[in-house]
Amino acid sequence: MALQCGIVGLPNVGKSTLFNCLSNAKAQAANFPFCTIEPNVGVITVPDDRLTKLAELVKPNKVQPNTIEIVDIAGLVKGASKGEGLGNQFLGNIRATNAIIHVLRCFDDGNVIHVDGSVDPIRDREIIDTELQLKDLDTVDKRIQKVEKMAKTGGDKDAKRTFEILSVVKPHLESGKSVRTAPLSDEDFEFIVDLGLLTQKPVMYVCNVDEASVVTGNKYVDLVKASVADEKAEVLVISAKIESEIAELESYEERQEFLADLGLDESGVNKLIRAAYKLLNLYTYFTAGVQEVRAWTITKGFTAPQAAGVIHTDFEKGFIRAEVIKYNDFVTLGSENACKDAGKLGVEGKTYVVEDGDIMHFRFNV
């Protein structure tokens, strides 16, 4: 599944530095606006201790983890919704992503220029949110013009429902709120998903702090958490400077020692990657054999045939059954054969909903 998270934020908040830590696809990190003109795309590995444990038990020839694409999108300025600066390009790039990682500057440093002259993460967030909301409002207005007549004649039920939903979304946007916080059900949102509304996308806020604040946070982080409380969005505290220093260390042991000295149990990058995976509403299932132990990405709620289709469409078309072992059973008993002998291998049909961590083998016929 080709899934993308877009890193956004005002110029010089630490987006490209963070991107460099996440990916081998290096973006230019410089102390001036618009140092990232084209969106840089990096493929990053999702850290998962379960995959490591399975590999230790099975000892396969190859281990294949899950991945997510991270896109570093050009900085935004006021007026982007009207095409100012790199506005049209920015909005087009973000529309193509599945979720948003919004980086906010939450540190004071006179040596790093801020595009608006002072540090204020709430103002910075509102600048970007406003531009996205204005663009969404334009999109909503155009769709309302298209469906309003059909809705009022009463002949098209879908048009009528869409018009009712958009009649809720429009004033919500006009009040300066994002679509994702509108008082609508998941079913309602499905009626407008084709609009690709920018503020309907799930979002995670990353507070870029100084080294002294990476464990406890600071006044800026507290302000951010309070300002996004109604969005049910995750807020992560990360120091891009620290992460860049960790990325330069060659060995795992050196990185762990560095983290321990700072009072951290793992890097912020690892936390961010896992949080992004969760933000996209994703699950992992595994296939485990001598040739390969592999993690597969699925959307939460996938049935067994849908999960099989992630490997190959033929697997879904010709699905017969799935043989399923729970991760904890596999680890406790140590092998597939041991799980079979203990009666811990389940045979599931087309209606089985895959759980996170399932170890699966598919039977199919084409």
Name the nearest CA neighbour of 285 among 346, 327, 318.
Answer: 327
Angle at 229 between CA 223 and CA 230, to 5 degrees: 140
Q: Does the annotation flag 14 for ligand binding?
A: yes
Q: Does the annotation flag 13 for ligand binding?
A: yes
According to DSSP, the residues that pair with 234 across neighbouring strands are 204
**How many whole angstroms separate alpha carbon 296 and alpha carbon 277?**
12
| Burial of 209: CB neighbours in 10 Å, binned 0-12, 13-18, 19+ | buried
**How many whole angstroms separate alpha carbon 324 and alpha carbon 358?**
6
User: What does the DSSP 8-state code read for residue 303?
Assistant: B
Q: Does the annotation flag 16 for ligand binding?
A: yes
What residue has token string 């490591």? 52
Residue 89, both tokens: 């390009």
Q: Does the annotation flag 15 for ligand binding?
A: yes
Residue 280: C-alpha distances to residues 3, 294, 366 (Å): 8, 20, 32
Residue set of the binding site for ATP: 12-17
Annotated binding site: 12-17
